[in-house]
Amino acid sequence: MVFSSLVFVFAYLPITLAAYFISPVKWRNAVLFVFSLAFYGWGEPAYIAVMLASVLSSYGFGFMIEKYRANDRRKAKLFMLLSVFVNLAFLLFFKYFNFFAHAFGAEGIEGLKLPVGISFYTFQIMSYTVDLYRGEVAQAKRFVPFGTYVTLFPQLIAGPIVRYKDVCDQLSARKESFQKFASGAQRFVCGLSKKLILGDGAAAAADYFSAQSELAPTAVGIWAAIAFYTFHIYYDFSGYSDMAIGLGRMFGFEFPENFDHPYVSKSITEFWRRWHITLSTWFREYVYIPLGGNRKGKARTYLNLAVVWLLTGFWHGAGWNYIMWGAYFLVLLVAEKAFAGRVLEKIPAVFSRIITLFFIGFGWLIFFRTDISRLFGDIALAFGAGGAFSDLPTAVDILKLLPFALICVFGCTGIPLRVCKKILSKHAKIAAAAPAVTVILLLICTAYMVDDTFSPFLYYIF
């Protein structure tokens, strides 16, 4: 799919930037709106209508919610629910119709494809509708800025999930500057490097060990596949988030952070505060807290967590493994709240981090194995059943990849960022060389893209 090709992004970005900055300030939202629709339409032309229907319906319902919000809350709530229903209907149909049809023994719709990014822009639209009903944001009276918010191409495919209240002021008044543009470009290249150099490298290693586990099953081999997939999903997804935040900054926007070194977490609870932060925030504010959060006793808290994690798993994909993945983390989080959290707090931090990372990695096995029968086989293999512990070729392959794995481990910590900030703040000459380093990294990434022109982002399928 052209949509997921970084080559297409690189070809499209200079044209968009040029059109944006030569336009008068009052027309810049319109330029972004048009170019974002064109960007989306290049990969999914048939689904522009679906996106526009979502945008138009929520924009129109916004007028009705605003009209009745102050003096007739029942009618305002009705229009809020209608808006949510319309947008969820699109998501449920395209993402889950065939899943439920097959689950109940019926035939699905052949050729039904998932519109790229629908899970992300649907949640963004719903945040506007709910926050407007709550009185937390002003109504979007002009269509173009609102349409720009929903379709903004830097974060359209895979987030971060930007709530309307986070950027509504920026849509009406934002300041572009050379410093902000340069900072955004550096952040973009940083994310691109994470994705292409580390993320794609880890993906190749994970695929290799996964394939080897079928030919010569070993416990060490399947754990190697899990470890490299753990690196892959982090560098690919956080790299995309960095690119989106950087691109947004180049256009004058400040998007929320989406990752905060999640693999250094000392508990699963902390991990989910650091991983895909905007999704966790969305579920907390629009599902968990409205259900009562942890304010109505332990039993109700666990029930609320169950709802959130069923939805979280299902949001990621229409497959039983995603539901199992959500249930897996539900069990871990309930265990932490009940007793395990106190244990993790008492042991040395290094051990709590290792234990947490073990359970995270095992969760990624459930996440990426969509074939349930193979999933159970891999789980058995990981714990010593169905194959040897290791063999010589697997051990040799791991030793060859050990330097790359150590780089990936180091990059997951906050150390590189802290060191860079310290050096740049204390050494002006090195700081002056930062643009040159950015250009060098960009050239290296370009060489990677020339070698492999199709480089899909992992999360664009969600």
Cβ atoms of 334 and 302 closer than 8 Å:
yes
Tell me the two tokens of residue 389: 């512990």
Which one-letter amino acid corresponds to residue 292? G
Tell me the two tokens of residue 121: 């822009």
Cα 222 to Cα 211: distance, rounded to the nearest angstrom: 9
Helix (H, G, I), strand (E, B) or coil at 113: coil
> Any long-range contacts for 452-456 (C-beta under 8 Å, 24+ apart)?
452/200, 453/5, 453/7, 454/4, 454/5, 455/4, 455/5, 455/6, 455/195, 455/196, 455/200, 456/1, 456/4, 456/5
**Catalytic annotation, pick one of 232, 261, 316, 427:** 316
CA nearest neighbour of 412 among 330, 351, 353: 353
Q: Which residues of 2-35 are buried (b: 16+ CB within 10 A; e: fewer)?
A: ebbbbebbeeebeebeeebeeeeeeebbebbbbb
Tell me the two tokens of residue 78: 């009705």
Q: What distance lies between CA 266 and its chain's CA centroid?
A: 22
List of residues 6+ apart from 343 with CB closer than 8 A: none
Q: Is 102 a catalytic residue?
A: no
Query: Which residues are tagged catalytic?
Result: 316
